[in-house]
Amino acid sequence: MTEMLPLFPLTTVLFPGMRLPLHIFEERYVQLVRDLLERPEPRQFGVVAIRKGRETGVDGVTALHEVGCVATMRQAEPREDGRFDLATVGEQRFRLLQTDRSLPYLRGEVEPLADDVGDAAAAAPAVQRVQAAFRRYLNALADRGGGVISVSDLPDEPVLLSYVVGAAVIIDLPERQSLLAAPDAVTRLRAERALLVRETGMLRATTSRPAPDFSYEPYSPN
């Protein structure tokens, strides 16, 4: 089953369950928000990472990644100059089938993607390995940043853990996108463990990479 969604192309990857605050200033996206506010809840649009192009400017987007995430608009704060500050949260992955450019902003025909666990027998060991690898990664970040990083208990549910780690680890967009597009949670967790081992080793071998502030939410100036 497919549906047509307004699209918000970004140079970031949104995972289900993760929050994404947005500052809306381009007229086409201001119009997108206005159109959403005229609809009943849930007010949703698709966040999809840009493969080629830019978020802003006359050239704009020339290519998008195939897998994105539905975002639900929880709050929209209008500004006096017509701009908006949005509070959104990721809901469900989708596959982008085709785009429509008949409106000022992009729309896409999308089909939802299931959040499968994958190999059920391998789920629990994969969760334990990733939880341990992620804590070692955070410790390495704290050591290089000269601070202490404190996180609440990591989830034990495979799908949720895979999204939390995918959103938190510091990696390039193509690698983060590949995690979002993974066919199931176990496959994603296995890939994340390999990335965490690699990144932890790099942090231990260098002294110039600072620890991030994990209380900070990603902020897209669009």
pLDDT, tens digit (0-9, with 9 covering 90-100), for 84-137: 999 999 999 999 999 999 999 999 999 999 999 999 999 999 999 999 999 999
Provide the pLDDT for residue 99: 94
What is the average pLDDT value for the chain, to the nearest integer?
89
- Binning pLDDT at 50, 70 and 90, where does residue 216 land? very low
CB 89 within 8 A of CB 14: no
CATH of the structural domain 120-205, one choice from 1.20.58.1480, 1.10.150.130, 3.40.50.2300, 3.20.20.70: 1.20.58.1480
At 214, is the pLDDT very low, low, confident or very high (cuts 50, 70, 90)?
A: very low
The CATH fold assigned to 3-112 is 2.30.130
Which pTM was predicted?
A: 0.87
Question: Residue 178: how many CB atoms within 10 A of its CB?
Answer: 17
32-41, 78-87, 213-222: range with lowest mean pLDDT: 213-222
**Cα(95)–Cα(65) distance, integer angstroms:** 9
pLDDT of residue 147: 56
Comma-separated ranges of CATH 2.30.130.40 domains in the chain: 3-112
Q: Is 12 helix (H, G, I), strand (E, B) or coil?
A: coil
Do 196 and 136 touch, CB atoms closer than 8 A?
Answer: yes
Q: Find residue 90's DSSP bridge partners.
A: 71
Ranges in the chain annotated CATH 1.20.58.1480: 120-205
Tokens 């902020």 found at: 219
The residue count of the chain comes to 222
